[in-house]
Amino acid sequence: MNTLIIDVSDILTTVGTKKEFKFENEFKPLYAGKKLNFTGPLNFNFFIENVGLELLVKGDVQGKLRFTCNRCLIEFKAKVKVNLDEVFTLEKNEFDTKETFKVVDNKIDLRGAVEQAFLLELPIRPICKENCKGLCFKCGQNLNLSKCNCLDEKIDVRLLKLKKLKEELEKNRD
Ligand SMILES: [Zn+2]
Ligand SMILES: [Zn+2]
């Protein structure tokens, strides 16, 4: 299987027939504010069922996407799994007024449904890990990798104050 346009002519004529699919397939990048690339082919696992005037597509798709962390700006990969739960209406269905996917020339094109499912599932602010420390707002250092001097300065100032206080206390004692 090397396309997401699937010939369904063998289940179109009989209500109740069902066909299972399991395959890998490449997928184009997603556009969610910026371009997001998949790191490899996606895993598809679903069935198509003829339920009368429409075909039901149910199952899941998973793939790995390359994100940029919202806090520390590094690139990281994360697995995203989405559910497929779509209806493809038959061409001849004249009662259909909804904006739905359609069976065209005995084929269904899954690309739109897959893209929609992923876009709904994407994190709005992806982070590389739950406890990502982000970048120092002062010097830009990635705080996951090492501390920066800005933090130390703050500590130093506090220590200095304590030292001064101690000195003054000792002076008063004299
Ligand atoms: Zn991060
Ligand atoms: Zn810093």
Q: 38: which DSSP letter?
A: B
Contact by Cβ (8 Å): 88, 96: no
> What's the gap in Å between 147 CA and the centre of ligand 1?
15
**Which ligand sits closest to the CA of 147?**
2
* CA gap 93, 73 in Å, rounded: 49
**Predicted pLDDT of residue 92:** 61
Sorting pLDDT into bands at 50, 70 and 90, what band is 62? Answer: very high
**Predicted pLDDT of residue 28:** 94
* CA gap 46, 85 in Å, rounded: 9
DSSP three-state, residue 170: helix
**Which ligand sits closest to the CA of 72?**
1
**Predicted pLDDT of residue 2:** 54
Q: Which two tokens stand for residue 84?
A: 């497929």
Query: Which residues are within 5 Å of ligand 1 (an ion), measured at CB?
Result: 69, 71-72, 128, 132
Q: pLDDT for 27-36, tens place per residue? A: 999 998 889 9
Q: Say how many C-beta atoms besides its own lie within 10 A of residue 97's C-beta.
A: 7
pTM summary value: 0.77
**Predicted pLDDT of residue 163:** 75
DSSP three-state, residue 96: coil
Q: Say how many C-beta atoms besides its own lie within 10 A of residue 128's C-beta.
A: 20
Q: pLDDT for 90-129, tens place per residue? A: 866 566 566 678 998 999 999 999 999 999 999 889 999 9
Supply angle C-alpha 112, 120, 101, rounded to 5.
30
- Please give the average per-residue pLDDT across 3-11, as a whole number: 93
**Which ligand sits closest to the CA of 146?**
2
**Predicted pLDDT of residue 93:** 56
**Predicted pLDDT of residue 91:** 66
Token look-up 């369904």 returns 8
> What's the gap in Å between 53 CA and the centre of ligand 1?
48
